[in-house]
A = this chain, B = another copy of it.
Amino acid sequence: MSARQDTDMASVDMEKRAHADHHASLRLWLRLLSATTRIEDTIRQRLREQFGITLPRFDLMAQLEREPQGLSMSELSRRMMVTGGNVTSIVDQLEKEQLVQRQMQASDRRSYTVSLTEAGRSAFAAMAQAHEGWVVELLSPLVASQQEQLHKLLGTLKSGSPTNSEETK
């Protein structure tokens, strides 16, 4: 067998392997998407039914709960990765229900600080507890060691595709 032939065969094998891997990646992605969507939809539905709240509103409250001193609108916008107008609308709704409050900033009169009210804090505590229970329930098909494994694998993915072969800009 010549080196030439070896190279040809190897390249054919690599091509086959690449195709198989591509299909495996696609199957993995579809499974990742459907598993996540199923859980997310369940949580969304239960939040609506049991607490009359939507996921973005819950998420905004969760951001505020982690920052007792409050956050500016622009910081909320950045953390929730949505544009400013949307944050205004969510905060408007939550403020109407007296779950959050806007407070003037002495230092910069353009800017507000948004924080949970006392009612908001206790409402969020109840929701967060239920939410955690649902998550535990929905992930329960995996035992603790499997969950740990999954957590690690997803951590590798989280970083944002560092082996990106596309143009950077």
- Interface on A for B, CB 8 Å cutoff? 21-22, 24-29, 31-40, 132, 135-142, 144, 146-151, 153-166
Q: Taking the full assembly, how many copies of this chain does it contain?
A: 2
Q: How far is the CB of A149 from chain B (nearest CB, A)?
A: 6
Q: When the two chains form their complex, are residues B141 and A24 in contact, meaning their CB atoms are under 8 A apart?
A: no
What is the CA–CA distance of A24 and B36 in the complex, to the nearest angstrom?
Answer: 17
Closest to A166 in B: B137
Partner of A163, one of B33, B140, B154, B156: B140
Q: When the two chains form their complex, are residues B136 and A22 in contact, meaning their CB atoms are under 8 A apart?
A: yes
A25-B139, A140-B164, A141-B161 are known contacts; what are 12 more A-B pairs with Cβ within 8 Å? A25-B132, A32-B154, A33-B36, A36-B37, A137-B166, A138-B161, A139-B157, A141-B157, A142-B153, A142-B156, A146-B153, A149-B153
Q: When the two chains form their complex, are residues B147 and A25 in contact, meaning their CB atoms are under 8 A apart?
A: yes
What is the CA–CA distance of A24 and B145 in the complex, to the nearest angstrom?
Answer: 11
Q: When the two chains form their complex, are residues B26 and A135 in contact, meaning their CB atoms are under 8 A apart?
A: yes
